[in-house]
Amino acid sequence: MAGRSMISFLIGAIGAALGSYIYLTMQLDMSSGDYKNASSIYEFSVKDTHGNDVSLEKYKGKVVLVVNIASKCGLAKNNYQKLTDLKEKFGERGLTILNFPCNQFGSQMPEADGEAMVCHLRDAKADIGDVFAKINVNGDDAAPLYKYLKAKQTGTLGSGIKWNFTKFLVNKEGIPVNRYAPTTDPMDIAKDIEKLL
């Protein structure tokens, strides 16, 4: 009888260990950005401009606007001003803007992450929201978050990001609900933001 109890115990222990392994493996896959199985942006982690890990889960319950930014782009001045205006208008009501510097389009984001990025935005008087580490938004090495956003909201000519300042609007559940072209003035998104707040 003791032998059967030991076998039952071992089988139970092995089952529990296997279940824990499968669960933890799934969690690790999601935190590293398994965009095909993700159900919201909250399942992704990114690096801030200083290299610290940030779980996007911290934005739960917020309306989020995700933007790929570039300092030397001809669209930068207007977008920086209007993103600042959006933040001032809706920030206290629950809008958060997530800015991802990207150098893929004409090498128009030469500033390095960290203090150089912070100084650039301060000099440009761009109080545009949270700023993250420089990423790629297209190609095999695109950030998993951007792979997810592009899969959920394709553009007019396919899923690829066409240029700097492409914008994704995400609802309070972390689901991308709209995508806007680089030339879309951020203030033209205000009515869509208002509906989600």
Which three-class secondary structure string do you get for 141-188?
CCCHHHHHHHHHCCECCECCCCCCCCEEEECCCCCEEEEECCCCCHHH
Q: Would you state the pLDDT for residue 135?
A: 98
Give the number of other Cβ atoms within 10 Å of residue 10's Cβ. 10
Q: With the CA atoms of 177, 171, 159 and 135 taken in that order, what torsion angle do they form, in degrees rounded to the nearest 10?
A: 160
Non-local (6+) Cβ contacts of 47 within 8 A are: 53, 54, 132, 133
pLDDT lower than 70: segments of the chain: 1-33
pLDDT digits (tens, 9 = 90+) for 10-46: 565 564 444 444 444 444 334 445 778 899 999 999 9
Active-site residue (options: 73, 117, 128, 143): 73
Contact 149, 176 (CB under 8 A): yes
Q: What is the CATH number of domain 41-196?
A: 3.40.30.10
Backbone conformation region of residue 125, classed left if phi is above 0, alpha if psi is from -120 to 50, else beta: left
Active site residue 73: yes
What pLDDT does residue 117 have? Answer: 92
Structure tokens at 163: 């240029």
Say what the pLDDT of residue 37 is: 86
Question: What was the pLDDT predicted at 63?
Answer: 99
Question: What is the per-residue pLDDT for 31?
Answer: 40
Which DSSP state fits 140? T
Q: Whole-angstrom Cα distance, residue 187 to residue 93? A: 16
What pTM, to 2 d.p., does this model score?
Answer: 0.82
The per-residue pLDDT for 4 is 64
In angstroms, rounded to a whole number, what is the distance separating the alpha carbons of residues 112 and 60?
A: 29
Cβ-Cβ contacts under 8 Å for 83 (sequence gap 6 or more): 65, 67, 97, 99, 126, 128, 129, 186
The alpha helices in the chain, defined as continuous H runs, are: 2-31, 76-90, 115-123, 144-152, 190-196
